[in-house]
Amino acid sequence: MDASERLAGAREHQRVLELKANGIGVAFLHARWKLSETTIREIPRAHLQYMEFGKGRKNKRRRYRLEDVETYEAWLLAGKPGDPPFAQVA
């Protein structure tokens, strides 16, 4: 493994740690949008990016970045023009 691969791995690891510590959970979006947690979980990843943490069916937790949530909200307010905000990423 060369230095650039190690640096890329370190950056990804740091991103994951920051998302675990500062990410937004489903309960926060439930309170913000007044939607059920089930409805929020049904939003496709192509529309709203998230990262899952934990193992098994009951332990999985989704974390969202505030920037991604705001991008999704702007897309909804604009009347969903064009492709979903994260379609090219999914």
* pLDDT tens-digit series, residues 12-30: 888 777 777 778 889 999 9
- Structure confidence at residue 55 (pLDDT): 78
pLDDT band at 89 (very low <50, low <70, confident <90, very high): low
Q: Is the pTM of this model over 0.75?
A: no
Residue 87 lies in a domain: no
Amino acid at 62: R
Q: What is the mean pLDDT of the chain?
A: 84
Looking at the structure of the chain, the number of domains it has is 1
Task: Give the structural domain span for 19.
Answer: 3-77
When pLDDT is cut at 50, 70 and 90, the band that residue 90 belongs to is very low
Q: Is residue 90 part of a domain?
A: no
89 found inside a domain: no
Q: Which helix (H) or strand (E) holds 61?
A: strand 61-63
Q: For 39-88, how does the pLDDT look when each residue is reduced to its tens digit (9 = 90+)?
A: 999 999 989 999 888 777 777 788 899 999 999 999 988 887 777 777 65
